[in-house]
Structure formats: C-alpha cells, structure tokens
Structure 1
Amino acid sequence: MSEPNPRLTDRSVFPDPVYKETVLRPLFDGAKSHHVEGFRSIDRAHLVMLVETGILDAKQAGAIASALEAIDREVDPSTLVYTGEVEDYFFLIEKELKARLGPDIAGRLHTARSRNDIDHTLFKLGLKHRIDALMIKARHLLAALIDAAEREKDTLVVAYTHGQPAQPTTFGHYLSAAIEVLIRDIERFAEAREIVNLSPMGAAAITTSGFPIDRQRVAHLLGFAAPLRNSYSCIAAVDYVTSTYSAIELMFVHLGRLIQDFQFWTAFEVGQIYVPNAFVQISSIMPQKRNPVPIEHMRLLASQTMGRARTVLGVMHNTPFTDMNDSEGETQAMGYEAFVAAGRVLDLLAAFVAAIRIDPARVAENIRRSCITITELADSLVRREGLSFREAHEIAATVAKAVVAAGGGLEKDGYEPFLAAFRQSTGREPSFGRDTFEEIVSPAHFIAVRNRFGGPAPAPMAAALAAYRDKAAAFDKAAEGKAAREAAAARELNEKFKALVEAS
C-alpha cells in the first residue's frame, strides 16, 4: 500500500509557531526598527510614478495616498507586536490599506513591484543614511588630525621601525601619514556610496514589468542618482553590501594601527605622548597609575567594527547569484552594529587627538639614549668628506656603538668616538670640528635637511597640510551637494504625494 501524498493530507497553517518566533518575529522587529521611513518613501514614490505613468488613475491614487497618510498618523510602529497574522511588515501595511480601502483599491499599490526590489531599495536607503552619518564623523576626525598636524608640525618625536627607535621626525609629519590613509579610506567610502546610490526599484521580482513604469522617476524621487540598469543585478548583486563593509573593514584596520601606536607611545617606558587627566582613569588600588584607557576602548571598538564588517562579508561568501535571505533583513541589521561601533571610535579618536600633547623632555631623552640622528652623520660624511655611503655608514655605526656602550648622548659624547673612527677609516682628519659635529647630529638639523617632497621639514609639511585641507574641503563640498540634491528630491516627493492626498 502506497504512502498518502503529504500535500493532500497537510492541514498545517502558516506560520508554524517555532518558525514565527525564530524567523518572522525577529525580521518584523528589525523592519519596524530600521526601515519604517524607507517603506514609507518607497510606497509614496511608487504611487506617484504609477499615477504619472497612467498605470493608476488619479482617483485610485488619491484614495491610496489618503489611506497611507492615515496609517502614518494612526499606526505607531514602535508599539507593534508581531502576532503572525501577517507574514512581515510589508504585508502589515497592505493589510492596513485593505482595511481602509478594500482589497481592490488597496491591492493596486503593489502593481509592477515585488518584495525583492522593495527590500534591496530599503537596504540601500538604510545604508546611504548610515554611510552619510559615518562620513560626517570621519570628516570630523580628518579635520581634527589636520589641525593636530598643523599644531605639531615642529614638535619632535621618535619614529619607530620594527618596534625600535629609528629616526627623529615631527608629530605633525607622523600624523600626516595617518591623514593620507584616512583620506584614501574616505575615498573608498565615497566609491562604495556611488554603488549604493543606484535604485533597484522597478526590477520587480527579477525581470522588470510589462507595465509602462518609469524607473528613473522613482529613483529620482527616492534620492538615488539613477536606477541600477540590469534588473537581475538589482535583486542578485550584493556588491553594494560588500563594497560598503569592505570600506568599513579597511578604515578600521588602518585606524587600529594608529591607535596601537598611541598605546605604545603612552607606555611608561616610552612616554612621548602625554594624555590629559580628562582621558585618564586611576587605578582602584595603585594610586600612582595613570591609565589612558580611552586608547584601549578605541582599540577594542575598532576591532569590533572590523570584525562585524568582516562577518557581513563572510555571510556573502559562496551564496547564489540571486535574491536570497542571506543578504537581507537580519544580515543588514547585523551590519548596522558595525556602523554604531565605528561612530564611537571616530568620535573618541577625534577628541583624543585634539587633547593629547607630546612630552618634549621624554622625547629628548629617548633621542639622546637611542642615537637616532646617526644616519645624518653618515649622510653628511658623504656630502662633506666625499666618502662612499658604505664607508660613512661604518664610521657612523662605530660611533653609535661607542656612545650607547658608554650610556651617553650623540651630541655631547659622540665627537671623540667620531674622530677616532674617522681617522682609523680614512687616515686623515675631518674637515669640521666639534660645533659642526653637534649641529649635524642634532634632531633639529636632521629634520631641517629632509626638505624633499613628503618630508618633515617645514616647506614640504606646509605644502602637505595645504593639500590635506583642500581635500577635506572637497569632501565637505561633495557631501553638501549630495545632501542638497537628496533633500530636494525628498521635498518633491512630499509635494507630489500631498497633491494626491489633496485631490482625493
């Protein structure tokens, strides 16, 4: 005897209670928390387009517009509790429309669209808003770094390579390196936003529609630059997600390295950064300790940001090239947490950079103990004495070893070892005396002669700072232009929608 066909005997009713609690309720709660405004804008823009193209007549559109306005007044999304009566937030709005208009008129709003194109449009609207808010903070950090680099352009610090003192530079020069990376990170975000800024609306499920829709019109009303051309791409391509979270991940990989240096530079044994009391917590048991814990929090939050962004990228890996839940509500909501942590880092780092100062006494002592100006002695021997760099390097190395072994400093204690090493190597006397030697190995001279493009000397630093300020101004101008265009589109949508309501 054959088994009965399960489809013929299935009397279960959607949704299964466990499915409702584990999938549908979280999705509904995520939509009402993150996408209410997006739903509202999409409904209104689509409705305006339907009537402008003649797909709906003005009377039908006016009735729908009035009902949508009533729903906005009467339904508070924050108070909604998911019951399973409808599948998701989208169907809740449709249910509310049917209650006010009946199924015939209410159902006409969904002409020529699908949850597929609606969803990806929602997610893009949500990302645009978050990218813009985060970039305001990133530009604020950029301005703070530029101001700090200007303030500290002549302030000596020890630069490290491989964890060891290497050469003197200025704090402004060091910060300028971070500024250039941040500029490139902001540019990556701008490129990601251009991908986000293409509207999927009108793709419907996959292949657009047989109705004479105007995709450009909907894109404009929603504040997008244009519609994304290929309709399959609208619902399948997730590069708007991956480009955004790749930009986040890279920015906070890079900022994390800067933060790690601040941790090292504030260590008691190094101490070249002084952190003001406002950013210091005192130990509960050791009264002598000054703990610059904001650095630790920035490092932690930068790691959390990077990890959350990478998780979103991981979810996208090896998924089919089609519309899929992997790229939708719960993944989007998870990604938003990266934006939250990222914003905290940017705010705190901007305030921290503005507050910290360099301890000149500790820097001077670290320079003295480490002989880090010795490279300029070798360079000067090439220029002044006509030696090969290799011979000059060997003389300088001998001097440095002698000074370090004696626990001295290069400026005050290096001249006698230099004379001995020079005589032994060349068989003659150098052409300069003690005063010139002390000038050559001074950190001020070291900086002053490094006046090539990109160097720490005053002239290249002034040019660099001017270029950074120009770039920051260009970022601000571009953001203001986008904001103005999108605000104008929002006003136009509101006016067109209000006209439908008033004509009903």
Structure 2
Amino acid sequence: MNTDRTMNTNATDDRTRFPDPVYKDTVLAPLFDHARDDHAEGFRRIDRAHLVMLEKTGILQRDVAGRIARALVEIDETVDPAQLEYTGEVEDYFFLREAELKARVGADTGGRLHTARSRNDIDHTLFKMALKARLAALLDEARALLSAMIDTAEREAETLIVAYTHGQPAQPTTFGHYLGAAIEVLIRDIERLEAAHAVADLSSMGAAAITTSGFPVDRALVAELLGFGAPQRNSYSCIAAVDYTTGAYAAVELLFLHLGRLIQDFQVWSSFEVAQIYVPNAFVQISSIMPQKRNPVPIEHMRHLSSQAMGKARMMKDIMHNTPFTDMNDSEGESQQAGYGAFETGSRVLRLLAAFVPALKINPDRVAANIDRACITITELADTLVRHEGLSFRQAHEIAAATAKAVVAEGASLSAGFTPFAAAFREATDRETTMDEAGFAEAVSPEYFVAVRDRFGGPAPVAMAEAITAYRAVLSRFEDTARARHAQETRAAEALDAAFNALTEAC
C-alpha cells in the first residue's frame, strides 16, 4: 500500500479522502489494534536490528545511524503502544512509528531506516517471531504434561485396568501401559511442534518486497540479532510461503485432536457404570439439585476446549487454502491474530490435563469385577493351551470360547470355571486336560495375563520399565532443545542491545 493519496481538497464528502470511514472502522482500526497489541515489541526489535545492520554494512553512516538510534529510544520512552488509538492519520502501526521517527530527526533522516526493507518482509518476520514465542510456550506446557504422564505411568505400571476395543471390554492391561500409548502419541505431537518451530525459526528480513535488494544487506546478521536460527534462503519464499503458519497450526490441530481422544476415555471410565477411574474431590463438582452426584466436570471442559483449540487451528489452514502463492493479506495481520486463540485455549487444556492425570486413581474393586464379569483373560487361556497342551490356536480358541460361554450362562466367576473348562476340553480333544485347578486359575488371572506379555512394548514389568526409561530419554532431549532455544534468544537479545546501545553513543 502507498501512503501518498490523491486528495480532492475542494470536496466536502469524506468518502473522497483516505481512509473511508467504514474502511477505517472495519479494517484499518482492527489491524492497528492487532499490531499494537501483538507485535509492538517485534516492531521495536526489527527496527533496532535493521538499523544495526545498515550501519555495519556501510549502507548508513554511523552518525546518521546514531541519530536514528537515539530517536528510537525516545519513541520507546515516550510512546506507550497500549495507550494508542487509531485515528486514520496514518495508514497503520508501521507508518505511525515512521511518522514518530521523522518528527524527531526529519523526513530525510527518518526515511533512511526503511532502506532495503519492505512491510512484506517486516510483516512475515513479525508473524514468525510471534508464532515462535507461542510455539515455545506451548512446547513448555506439552513437556510438562509429558513429564506428568511419564511419572504417572511409572507409578501405575502394575495397576490393572480393563482395555477396551470397539467400546467393549477386551483384555486386561495396566494403567501405566495405557498411558504409555498416549505418551508415545504426545511425543510425536511434540516432535511435530518442534518441526513447525524450526520452519518459523527462519527470518524473512532482507527479502524486502520480493527479490531482496541492490544494497549489500547482511541477512544473516539481522536473523542472528532477532534470535532466528538463520535467514530463509529464497526471498520469494520469505513473503509467499506461509507453510510456517500452516505447519504450525497443523501440528497444534493434531495435538488437541489426539488429546481429545484420551480425554474422552477418561469421561467414559469415570462414569458410574464403568467406574474404572476415581476422580478426586478437587476435580469434582456437585449437582445443584441431586446431592448424590459427583460430576467430574473438568473432563468436559478439557474435551470441549480441546475441540475449540483444534477448530481454531484448523481454521487457519482453511484460511490459507486456495490463496495465490504470493504476499497476501489472507495470511497476515487479522488471520495471524485469529489463530493465536488456538494457543490460548490449548494452553488451558495442557495445564489442566497435567494436573488432572497425576490425580487420577484406579478403582481396583471395580476393575477386578469388570475383568471377571467380561471374561477378558480368556485369550490367555487359549494361548496357554497352545503352549502346554500342544493344541492349534483355533482349537484352543474354541475351547476357551465354550468355557467363557458356560461361565457367563451360570453367572459364575471365570476363575472358578475349571469344571466347564475341563468338559469343553474333553469334548474338543477326546482326552483329559493336563491342567489342574490351580493352573487354570493362574492362566485366567489378570496378573498372569500381564506378566507373560513381556515382549517389547508389552505391559509386563520389564517391558514397561524399559519403555519408561526410553520416554524419559526423549523428554530429556526435548528439554535440551528448549534450553538451547532459550539460550539462542538470550544471546540474540544481549547482542542486539549491545550493538544498538553502541549506536546511541555515536557522534
């Protein structure tokens, strides 16, 4: 956009002047507010880093750079972005800062700060800075959840639960083993967030409008001073390729899609009929009319907030769909600001879930009753018959099925079902089983079921201990990455402050 407008000074109709009042209220003012609220600090840092680069490359003389630097300091000291309201006197927040600069050092000197840059590369750099900060914060909270889940999985590594398939009781496993499955998904979601951060960690500054500049700019220096890992290589890509946005929101969308499935299980498991988990009173609300009810309402909030975060993230991808491969407002101010809501809502889910999971307790009596009633250890009876009686699995499966059917029909416990088992075995094989009552009881016990599943990835203690060790190693790697990221940002801030402050002391 151009700030030079053709004005009809004889006209009295406001609609002949820029900006049109409706355009001002519906577009320019909201954009100004978003820039002021979300990107004021980014503008400040970009101005300073670009100025340092202009001086160091000789594009600006040191005394000119010094005058601009001192004026920028004065602007920061006297202009509070939070107090600014859009009046329409300038087009946007960028031009307001430029106007403030020119008012202090004159139009000629003030205009030199914009040498070799455009609002195109400024905007995408601003958006990347804001997105990086939000991704880093979300990653901090995702790691905290991961840590809480690993600790809980280790604590509950031998705590029996009913595992479900197709909504029906299927096999016994442990709560720790179940959480291990969710932990592995969360690890992959964190890896996707880290990959998205790496794409956003490439600076667009120096691309200018599209094709860089004829001036000898140092793009790597600006990237370093702003805390980026490197400049993005292709200058057209810097202002057209918004995969730093779509990639980030795709990762956010998947994170909360996956967490929503976990939360849904907690909703079912906490129901009166299932009652596999006990939610402590700190996470329970009572009914206003039914005093007997314990409502684990936080689960519902986590579920719908996960859906909201997922929906807001998906919206960002939809906004980018079928837009031209160029610099477009579709990917800029208002869209970026709309997407930030996904991070705000998602943060609430992560923090609540990280507190909720460690507080959960398994109800052992209800688990034992459900295991027994549903005969879900019967698969191991078939497996045991294959190993110890030399039967084919299909024949063993038929004997186990007949045993379960008889036990259910009698309303008896599977652990006490040796007599119908022996009869089913005799009918299927024309011989007696070598298994005695004690061996049968062990074969259909949930503890034995878990203990013999000591393969890689299984729920048995040795396999679970190995998994927990592996999960902690991945968490440690994530934490190392976060520390390195923080150190990079700190070094950049210190380097920028030192270089800029040196300019303010220039003659």
* Shared fold (TM-score, shorter chain, > 0.5): yes
Instruction: Give the structure-1-normalised TM-score.
Output: 0.98
Displacement after TM superposition at 1:406 (Å): 1.8
1:203 is displaced (CA, Å) by 0.4
Question: Displacement of 1:160 after TM fit?
Answer: 0.1
Amino acid at match of 1:304: Q
Q: 1:10 Cα deviation (Å)?
A: 11
Partner of 1:448: 451
Q: 1:421 aligns with which of 408, 412, 424?
A: 424
Listed as ranges, the matches of 1:345-356 within 5 Å are 345-356=349-360
Given that 2:163 and 2:173 are in contact with CA atoms closer than 8 Å, whether structure 1 keeps it comes out as yes
Task: Give 1:7 shift.
Answer: 11
Per-residue deviation at 1:485? 1.5
- Alignment partner, residue 3 of structure 2: none
1:311-330 → structure 2 map (5 Å cutoff): 311-330=315-334
Give the 5 Å matches for 1:79-478. Answer: 79-412=83-416, 414-478=417-481
The aligned length equals 498
Measure how far apart 1:354 and its partner are. 1.1
Does 2:484 match 1:481? yes
Describe the superposition over 1:81-107 as per-residue Cα deviations: whole angstroms up to 9, x where unpaired: 100000000000001001111100000
Match of 1:35 among 34, 39, 44: 39
Residue equivalent to 1:3? none
Residues 22-101 of structure 1: pairs in structure 2 closer than 5 A: 22-101=26-105
SS in 1 for 2:238: helix
Q: Say if 2:189 and 2:254, in contact at 8 Å, map to a contact too.
A: yes
Give the Cα–Cα distance (whole angstroms) in 1 for the partners of residues 325 and 120 of structure 2: 14
Contact 2:123 2:332 in 1 (8 A): yes
Structure 1, residues 285-332: CA drift from partner, whole Å, max 9, x if none? 000000000000000000000000000000000000000000000010
- Long gaps (5+) in structure 1: 1-5
Secondary structure at the counterpart of residue 165 of structure 1? strand
For residues 132 and 179 of structure 1, what CA distance do their matches in structure 2 show?
19
Confirm or deny: 8 A CA contact 2:8 2:17 kept in the other structure: no
Per the TM alignment, residue 9 of structure 1 is displaced from its structure 2 partner at its CA by 11
Runs of 4+ residues over 4 Å off in structure 1: 6-11
1:228 maps to a residue whose letter is Q
- In the alignment, the residues of structure 2 paired with residue 299 and residue 91 of structure 1 have an alpha-carbon distance, to the nearest angstrom, of 43
- Please give the alpha-carbon distance, in whole angstroms, between the structure 1 residues aligned to 2:192 and 2:423: 55
3-state DSSP of counterpart to 2:173? strand
Structure 1 residue 490 corresponds to structure 2 residue 487:
no
Unaligned runs of 5+ in 2: 1-5
**What letter is aligned with 2:163?**
A
Identity of aligned residues (%): 68
CA distance in 1, matches of 2:402, 2:291: 44
CA distance in 2, matches of 1:405, 1:281: 40
Distance 1:75 1:454 in 2: 59
Q: Secondary structure at the match of 1:408?
A: coil
* TM-score using structure 2 length: 0.97
Q: CA RMSD in A?
A: 1.2
> CA offset at residue 280 of structure 1?
0.0
Give the Å deviation of 1:401.
1.0
- Offset at residue 8 of structure 1 (A): 9.6
